[in-house]
Amino acid sequence: MQQVESKQRFWWRAAHDAPTPEPDAAHWMAETRGVATVSKRVAGGAAKRSPFALQIPRGERRFRRSRRAQRWVKPSAIAAGVLIFIGAAAYALPLGKLGAIDFAAKVNDVMVAAGFGIDQVNVSGQHYSSDSDVFDALDLPNVKTFAAFDSDAALKRIERISWIDTAQITRVYPGTLDVVVRERTPAFLLQRGETSFLVDATGRTLGPAARGSNWNLPRVSGEGAESEAILMLSALRQYPQIERQYAYGERIAERRWRIVLKNGTALELGADREIEGFEEVATAREATSALKGSPMIVDVRTPGRIAIRPLDGNSGRTASKAGAQTVSLVSERP
């Protein structure tokens, strides 16, 4: 026999004629705390059921579906219905007409209807790279659902864009892609004919510099200059008195550098001797006078020997040919 009072307090009679003890307040509070502890443990795993828990017959229980489950009912029903339709068509149509059906497109339509389609793409972080290049790298005309979207392959295609250093792709529920890119930083300008190209510190050509742009970057030219310029420029930064007079550097025969200063003076450096050459020019009294005076040719290709010759003409190339015949000053160093 079960007796029920207010505040959901209940107990069972042990025997037909045995007294039914009503639990006191302390016992009731202890029992209540025990029930709360049990419910907390149930969330983390299996717990021992209280002997005083109310037993509800299985047939009288009412179950409540979660909102997450209700959210997928309609898309799942749509997907199931379309799949059933495709299966029925495949069973009923003859083989000739069956081959004309594009099942891949039908599957994409099913995924889009089920809520797995890519509806919007947001791109941020780009300044010099083209938006269209990023969208082309995502290949969205051929990939319309998240099930078919390969994020790793898309990242590799995006990072192959000349200006892009790194990229990150994030899905924003339900159908949005967020693409955040970080662009490379140009380190110098490479002159090829009449066009100047921006190049980063790794030697990667980023793109042509727009005419009239005010990029305050050192200029280089010559075959192989893009891969060797950063080493020469790093050595040049150690000698500010030469760097302040720097106009451009020319790579000669893919072996060595000719540094042309603002006053027209040409520094002929030896192969793989950029630091040694700059050191000799910066410390020799005869060579330092050529940094700001009339244009000269300062040849430091031979270790321990500086040859200074007058410059005939305006271009460094012409001066190197004409000046080779006359030597005005040769300074021997110990």
Domain chopping of the chain, boundaries: 2-60, 70-113, 120-183, 186-332
Domain 186-332 has CATH 3.30.1360: no
What are the tens digits of pLDDT across the range 222-278? 999 999 999 999 999 999 999 999 999 999 999 999 999 999 999 999 999 999 999
What are the tens digits of pLDDT across the range 16-62? 444 544 545 444 444 444 433 333 333 344 445 555 555 666 666 65
User: Which is it for the CA torsion 38, 43, 48, 52, positive or negative?
Assistant: positive
pLDDT band, residue 220 (cuts 50/70/90): very high
d(CA 22, CA 7): 13
**What pairs with residue 15 in β-bridges?**
none
**The predicted structure's pLDDT at residue 214:** 87
Domain 120-183 has CATH 3.10.20.310: yes
Model pTM score = 0.61
User: Which is it for the CA torsion 69, 75, 81, 84, positive or negative?
Assistant: negative
